[in-house]
Amino acid sequence: MRTVTLRRSLVALFAAAISFGAIAQAQAETLRIGYQKYGTLVLLKANGALEKRFAAKGIDVKWTEFPGGPQLLEGLNVGSVDFGTTGETPPVFAQAAGADLLYVAFEPPAPTSEAILVPKDSPIESVAELKGKKVALNKGSNVHYLLVRALEEAGLKYSDIQPVYLPPADARAAFERGSVDAWVIWDPFQAAAEQQLQARTLVDGKGLVSNHQFYLATRPYAEQHPEVIEVLVEEIRAIGEWVKANNEQTVAQVAPLLGLSADITRLAVQRQSYGAQLITPEVVEAQQKIADTFSALKLIPKPLNISEVIWHAPASKVAGQ
C-alpha cells in the first residue's frame, strides 16, 4: 500500500513538474515590452525587425503602451511587462517602492527634450517666479528631477511651489484651462505644447540634468533570458543608428504613430538622443545622485544603492560596448 501511495505521489510530482515547465516555457515564448509615445521603441515596434528576429527562436513580441514612466514601471513591478523604457527618475521611485527591476542599457543625454513650460501670455519670466505657484508634473517621471534641479538653481526649495501631480494628458488639459501656472513635461508632449499652444519655455534641462533614457527589465526575466536582452540591446542600437542617418524618414514614420504633425514630430526627434549602450559606472553615479536627492527631500522612503540593480551581460557581443 505504501509503495502504491509513493508511486502515486511521484507521478503527481512529475506531472506538476511538467506542468510548471510548460508554464515557464509559455512565459518565455512571449516577450512583453512596455513603451511610451516617444523614443526608439516606437520605431522598433513599427519596423518589425524584432518580431522577425525572434520568430526564428519561437518568441512572440507583445507591445503595451503606457502614458508615462511611472505607469510603465508599475507594469514591470506587477509582472504585466518584461522590458520597457523610461527616463531617469521613474526607476528611482520604482526601486524605492520595492520593484524587482534591473537597468539594462541607456541612451546618451538629451537635456533639451524636457522643459518647464508656461502659457504664452503668462507674466512668469523665470523659475524664481514659480514660488507659491501651481506646477503640473507626472510624479516620479524624468521631469521630476528637472523641476528639483531648476528650483535649486533658482534658489528655491521644492516646498516653495505647489506641485500638482497629473499624467501628461490631464496636465495638458489643466495647463490649457489655466488651472496650473506651469507644466514640466517631456517630448513629444513638450513639442506639441510649444507649437500648438505657443507655450513658452522657462528652462529646459540643458546645464541642469542629463535626461538619459533607460531600458529596464524585471530581474527574473533578465536573469533567465540574457540572450533575449542581448538581442533587444542590439536591435535598439541598430534602429538608433538608422534614425541618425534617416532623420526625415523617421519623422514620416513616427508622425502618424504619434498622431502629430511632421513639424512637431521633427522637433521631438531632433531633440532626442540615439546610441544605446550598456550601463557605465558614470551613469550609475549619476543615477545615485538622483536617488540621493530624492531621499534627502523625503520624496522616496529610503536611501537606495543603484549599483545593486544593474544588469551585467554575460560574455557576449554586446558586453563591454
Question: Considering the domain boundaries, does residue 121 fall inside one?
Answer: yes
Q: Which residues pair with 35 in a beta bridge?
A: 65
Question: Considering the domain boundaries, does residue 318 fall inside one?
Answer: no
Q: In terms of domains, do 181 and 248 share one? A: no
- Confidence (pLDDT) at 318: 45
Q: In terms of domains, do 77 and 218 share one? A: yes
How sure is the predictor about 192, in pLDDT bands with cuts at 50, 70 and 90? very high
Per the structure, the count of domains in the chain is 2
Question: Considering the domain boundaries, does residue 5 fall inside one?
Answer: no
Q: In terms of domains, do 125 and 250 share one? A: no
Question: Considering the domain boundaries, does residue 264 fall inside one?
Answer: no
Per-chain mean pLDDT for the chain: 89
Question: Considering the domain boundaries, does residue 71 fall inside one?
Answer: yes
For the ranges 9-23, 94-108, 120-134, 279-293, which has the lowest average pLDDT?
9-23
Q: In terms of domains, do 96 and 132 share one? A: no
CA gap 159, 297 in Å, rounded: 9
Grid-cell match 532623420, residue found = 247
- Is 19 a residue whose pLDDT tops 80? no
What is the arithmetic mean of pLDDT over 304-321? 76
Q: In terms of domains, do 178 and 139 share one? A: yes
CA gap 160, 9 in Å, rounded: 66
Domain around 157:
111-204
**Within a 10 A sphere around the Cβ of 310, how many other Cβ atoms?**
16
Q: In terms of domains, do 121 and 138 share one? A: yes
Q: In terms of domains, do 299 and 170 share one? A: no
**Per-residue model confidence as pLDDT tens digits over 40-97:** 898 899 888 899 999 988 999 999 999 888 899 999 999 999 999 999 999 999 999 9
Q: What is the CATH number of the domain that holds 143?
A: 3.40.190.10
Q: Which of 188, 204, 220 is the last residue of a domain?
A: 204
Q: In terms of domains, do 32 and 43 share one? A: yes
pTM (predicted TM-score): 0.83
- Is 284 a residue whose pLDDT tops 90? yes
Question: Considering the domain boundaries, does residue 263 fall inside one?
Answer: no
Percent of the chain with pLDDT over 70: 89
Q: In terms of domains, do 101 and 227 share one? A: yes
Q: What is the distance in angstroms between the CA of the first residue and the CA of the last residue of the chain?
A: 62
**Per-residue model confidence as pLDDT tens digits over 231-275:** 999 999 999 999 999 989 999 988 998 899 999 999 999 999 999
